[in-house]
Structure 1
């Protein structure tokens, strides 16, 4: 990481919650004497109204320029193509030759490949947060997604992966030769231990659990909700805090009503500042990561950040064994 401090870096990402690209930007903002161009696009615009694409260009701690587009109202192929165009356009518009371009997901990484061909980027890095063999139900779109992923692995100077299963998945699904393994470097999710304020034991709610994440069926929150009637029989004052929004939210709220546990579940929705999320988690007694056991989906290939957040806040984790380091956490 120290090698990046004096470099001129572009980070391009689609974002919803705080993760690696935001942590890297924060680190460089605090320590870098070089230029940092941070380009961001909404990952789930339907969950956060009024959010558009944008960029911030800093030199050390000085803001050079920034820009935001109109809020995104349509989420589809046109939106992703526009994101790709903006990555290229805003980097070209800077007029600088950048030392490194870090593209988070394959479309942002593809922009780095193009910019390197133009001579605007010295080194291109593809940061892979997930690998989903069947991301789209549309056969053509899914084939394009996999083709771009394979292209970026081959063309970028380095590919950073969250877990070794991503490398294995590319062998099996994309038939990428093992000669590219040395370019696929494992860079797992981390946490800011120095930033997290540990809650004193006396302020921890002993009968409170927490779930942090996008509300999707594969996240498995429904498993916790279904178990709550049994939990409440033994611990009548048990309380569950849910932080996040998502496409499965309506079904989860319907289940909460159906089970009659409305008074025991607090849905906080999306929390803007991740430091506020950490404060909430630190005062809970247990964190849940109950992913479903689908071996062809995102979780199987990923390194879920919520488990690191729970552990960083000194909160025990209740989880399934779906992800690659589940046994290590256990």
Structure 2
């Protein structure tokens, strides 16, 4: 094995056994594409969903699995502890004192902080994707999470905040260095999917999400569609995302569709590939991004969907729950609405006013281009991680 340049500690979320990728994965891809050697330790955030800890060495397009620990325990905290011990072991085993360590959450940051102070890493980058006040329902776990979050903010050599709200809140911890790393896509990678306005289905709304759950206010989106149809006939809604994450909520959505007689107006695709996701969005007309205001994660996170719509030139109608929606509205790439009645009005406006629609579509592309992921990552690496 060659000298290791970067070590990544990451806690994964899984959907039907598939890892959910995030902003740190883009950074890993960028490093590999530029000839760097990366050691990745992937631990499950919720071991009851997925119980395996995997350690891989990556160079170019090659991935070598070094360890595969299957920990079938019912206690999440025990698996987290084992994961931390594995993080310690990896740093000691592979002599990483000249490597940069990257972490993706407070739990994975803890071993990075300890090992950095012990001299086993040269620099610690904490990629902060969440600032939830109530990340866990368990009060003790939530207090522990907030303590680890504070520890990460204060001790990392660099904090990368994925949203402007996190950026603002993080300053109270007086981090050594902090920078804005939005969860924006690689603009050029969407080029092959973009279609002209005239080739889009003018009566198709689209909602892309991880799954049919309360976080994405799918029920409210269905009700908005019913109101839109009172003004414009033939409008349909495509919902992209897993139907297995919350079957009770999904059943409520299906019941609401029947109640509102929208069986012919709502299309569920289930989980689809990234390619299929882009193709469906690109040929739709308006992107929908509504969030549960009670969900603390959505308040501080930077959801990809709003920026993904923009990268495909699709104007979006969103609420004010996320800071990305505020940025979108500032750049006139869509509407950030205060309530669902306003959402209906704005959707109807975009469907009927061709001039406004085209302008918003152009603005969306300009905004997405300005926040191109590759440019942001290159600047991050050149400035701090090289």
Q: Which residue of 2 aligns with 1:302?
A: 301
Deviation at 1:319, TM superposition (A): 0.3
Q: Which residue of 1 aligns with 2:85?
A: 85
8 Å Cα contact 2:306/2:324 also seen in 1: no
8 Å Cα contact 1:286/1:316 also seen in 2: yes
SS at match of 2:203: strand
Pairing 1:194-213 to 2, within 5 Å after superposition: 194-196=188-190, 197-201=192-196, 203-213=199-209
Higher helix content, 1 or 2: 2
| Cα separation, partners in 2 of 1:164 and 1:239, compared to 1, 3 Å | closer
Instruction: Give a deviation string over 1:135-194, Cα, whole Å, max 9, x none.
Output: 2233222211111111121222111111232244456xxxx45xx155232211121111
| Cα separation, partners in 2 of 1:226 and 1:75, compared to 1, 3 Å | farther
Q: Which residue of 2 aligns with 1:227?
A: 224
8 Å Cα contact 1:99/1:123 also seen in 2: yes
SS at match of 1:195: helix
What CA distance in whole angstroms lies between the structure 1 residues aligned with 2:281 and 2:75? 31
SS at match of 1:321: coil
The TM-score normalised by the length of structure 1 is 0.83
Q: Which residue of 1 aligns with 2:271?
A: 270
Deviation at 1:122, TM superposition (A): 0.9
Segments of 5+ residues of structure 2 without an aligned counterpart are 14-19, 330-386
8 Å Cα contact 1:222/1:252 also seen in 2: no
Q: Which residue of 1 aligns with 2:347?
A: none
Pairing 1:185-264 to 2, within 5 Å after superposition: 185-196=179-190, 197-201=192-196, 203-215=199-211, 216-233=213-230, 234-236=232-234, 238-244=236-242, 247-260=245-258, 261-264=262-265
SS at match of 1:13: strand
Determine whether 1:69 maps to 2:66. Answer: no
Deviation at 1:227, TM superposition (A): 1.9
Pairing 1:23-42 to 2, within 5 Å after superposition: 23-32=26-35, 34-42=36-44
| Cα separation, partners in 2 of 1:168 and 1:239, compared to 1, 3 Å | closer
What CA distance in whole angstroms lies between the structure 2 residues aligned with 1:73 and 1:262? 43
Comparing 304-313 with 83-92, greater Cα deviation is found at 83-92
SS at match of 1:205: coil
Deviation at 1:7, TM superposition (A): 7.8
Determine whether 1:119 maps to 2:115. Answer: no
Q: Which residue of 1 aligns with 2:21?
A: 18
What CA distance in whole angstroms lies between the structure 2 residues aligned with 1:119 and 1:166? 29
Instruction: Give a deviation string over 1:249-295, Cα, whole Å, max 9, x none.
Output: 53133222233134433333333x4333223222222211111334x
Determine whether 1:161 maps to 2:161. Answer: yes
Larger Rg, first or second structure (1 or 2): 2
8 Å Cα contact 1:136/1:142 also seen in 2: yes
8 Å Cα contact 1:213/1:245 also seen in 2: no
| Cα separation, partners in 2 of 1:14 and 1:165, compared to 1, 3 Å | same
- Report the count of equivalent residues: 314
Deviation at 1:37, TM superposition (A): 1.2
Deviation at 1:68, TM superposition (A): 3.3
8 Å Cα contact 1:212/1:244 also seen in 2: no
8 Å Cα contact 1:289/1:320 also seen in 2: yes
What CA distance in whole angstroms lies between the structure 2 residues aligned with 1:214 and 1:167? 25
Segments of 5+ residues of structure 1 without an aligned counterpart are 1-5
8 Å Cα contact 1:299/1:323 also seen in 2: yes
What CA distance in whole angstroms lies between the structure 2 residues aligned with 1:104 and 1:224? 31
SS at match of 1:148: helix
SS at match of 1:159: strand
